[in-house]
Amino acid sequence: MAGGAASGGSGAASETYKEARTLLLMPAWLTLIILVLSPVMLMLVYSFLTKEFRGGVIWDFTFAAYDQFFCDRGLFGDEGCTLEWTYITIFWRSIWQAGLATLLSLAIGFPTAYFIATRPANVRPLWVFLITIPYWVNLLIRTISMRFMMREEGPINNLLVGTGIIGEPLQMINTNFAVQVGLFYSYLPFMVLPIYAAVERYNFTLSEAAADLYASKWITLRRVLLPTVKPGVIAGCILVFVPSLGAFLAPDLLGGAKNFMIGSLIEEQFKGNAGNWPFGAAASMILLTMVLIMLMIYARQQSRANRGEA
């Protein structure tokens, strides 16, 4: 998924099957509208319903879910609305975690993408393949393997204690750090691929021109290369940030009880009998809105860039 390049548009507008077009697209449209679009609409509706005790909803419209999210009405629920920080904190922490994971991915992903893009052309696909495989491998298993590695009696600690670097095993699991690493590990390939695509298209004569004009390599990176590949970098950041924001497995398996993120909060609402479906729907809606706003900003920036630097 290389940024805006795969916009589904072909070069010469090929019209071979123009008449059959509606028929061809109908199955996809139907499936996606029924199974994706309308469920999301429904979710919006559900967020305004009343919760049923054993899960599910009662079709009574109310603002209760959103109220619970934003308002603190005291112990008995009868005071005025003061800002409820509990859930906002969870959202805020998720943003912060996702942001940090994104930065971490960028720090390692950018040099990696750059390096691969500057390999000889015949070897490049192999590198890309190596980076992509972990992405296709089950996220659950990868998270489990992270958990396995970071346990108190896990291999990392064994190595550190065994070689005498530290005296006692580090508490890595069930920390913010573990979640961070888990998120970074989960979505790293997403950071690498768009940046790789952008650097591959970069014209290195520009770097030569910069060097010719007395710029050192690092200044060239900062002032010439980065601005030119910026769209790829931003695409990579979004591809890591958005899934990280709504992640469930990393906080659940690696963070334990103390590291509740949005994903965990939402999941909790739908499991078992203590759940609150409307609340879960409301939280999901809030998450979705945040993501859509970010995507719209990105799309607008893309189109502005396409117009400005044609």
Partner 1 sequence: MASRKFDVRRYPGFAQLTVLCLLILYVPLLVVAVYSFNASASIIVFEGFSWRWYVDVFVGSDSAKFKEAAWNSFFIAIIAATVATTIATLAATGMVRGGFFRGRTLSFGLISLPLMVPEIVTAVATLIFFNSIAFERGIMTILLAHIAFCIPFAYLPIAARMQGIEDTYEQAAQDLYATKRQAFTKILLPLMMPGIISGYLLAFIISLDDFIITNFVKGAGVETLPTAIFGAVKQGIRPNIMAISTMLLGFSIVMVTISYFVSKRGDHK
Partner 2 sequence: MAEPEVYAIDVQNAVKRYGEFVALKKISLSIRDNEFFTLLGPSGCGKTTLLRMIAGFEEVTEGEIYLYGEEIENQPPFKRPVNTVFQNYALFPHMTVRENVAFGVEMLGKPVSDALKRADEMLELVQLTQFSARKPSQLSGGQQQRVALARALAPQPKVLLLDEPLSALDLKLRKAMQLELKHLQRETGITFIFVTHDQEEALTMSDRIAVMSAGEVQQLGNAVDIYERPKNRFVADFIGETNLIDVEVTSRDQDRVLCQFKNGLTLTCDAVDGIGIGSRGHISIRPERMKMRSEKVDDENWQGKVVENVYVGTDVQSIVALQNDMHLTLRTQNSDTGKAMIFEPGTDVFVDVEVGSARLLAD
User: Tell me, what amino acid is at 109?
Assistant: G
Measured CA to CA, the distance from residue 290 to residue 245 in angstroms comes to: 10
Q: Give the one residue of 85, 155, 166, 258 binding partner 1; rule: CB under 8 A.
A: 155
Chain residues 245-284 in contact with partner 2, contact rule CB under 8 A: none
308 binds partner 2 (CB under 8 A): yes
- Asked whether position 195 contacts partner 2 by CB under 8 A, the answer is no
Nearest CA-CA partner of 290 in 300, 279, 298: 298
The alpha carbons of the chain give a radius of gyration, in whole angstroms, of 24
* Residues from 68 through 127 that contact partner 1 (CB under 8 A): 108-109, 111-112, 114-116, 118, 125
Kindly report the number of other CB atoms within 10 A of residue 183's CB atom. 32
When asked if residue 121 is in the footprint of partner 2 (CB under 8 A), the reply is no
Q: CB 216 → partner 2: shortest distance, Å?
A: 6
User: Least distance in Å: CB of 10 to partner 2?
Assistant: 24
The answer to whether 159 contacts partner 1 (rule: CB under 8 A) is no
Among 81, 88, 123, 130, binds partner 1 (CB under 8 A): 130
* Cross-strand partners of 57: 51
**Contact range with partner 2 by CB under 8 A, out of 137-145, 206-214, 257-265, 288-296:** 206-214
Nearest to 255 by CA among 160, 183, 159, 149: 183
CB of 76 to partner 2, least distance (A): 59
The answer to whether residue 224 forms part of the interface with partner 2 (CB under 8 A) is: yes
* 14 three-class SS: coil
Cα(184)–Cα(99) distance, rounded to whole angstroms? 10
Q: List Cβ<8 Å contacts ≥24 apart for 30-35.
A: none
166 sits near partner 1 (criterion: CB under 8 A): no
97: exposed, middle or buried (Cβ count in 10 Å: 0-12, 13-18, 19+): buried
Per DSSP (E only), the strands in the chain are 50-51, 57-58, 71-72, 82-83
Segment interacting with partner 2 (CB under 8 A) among 4-12, 184-192, 220-228, 250-258: 220-228
Q: Does 228 bind partner 2 (CB under 8 A)?
A: yes
33 binds partner 1 (CB under 8 A): yes
Spell out the residues 6+ positions from residue 29 whose beta carbon is closer than 8 angstroms to its own.
none
Residue 164 touching partner 2 (CB under 8 A): no
Shortest spacing between CB 94 and partner 2, in angstroms: 33
Q: Which stretch binds partner 2 (CB under 8 A): 12-20, 119-127, 203-211, 284-292?
A: 203-211
Q: Which does 260 bind (CB under 5 to 8 A by kind): partner 1, partner 2, none?
A: none
For residue 58, give the amino acid letter.
I
For partner 2, the binding residues (CB under 8 A) are: 203, 205-206, 208-216, 219, 224, 227-228, 308-310
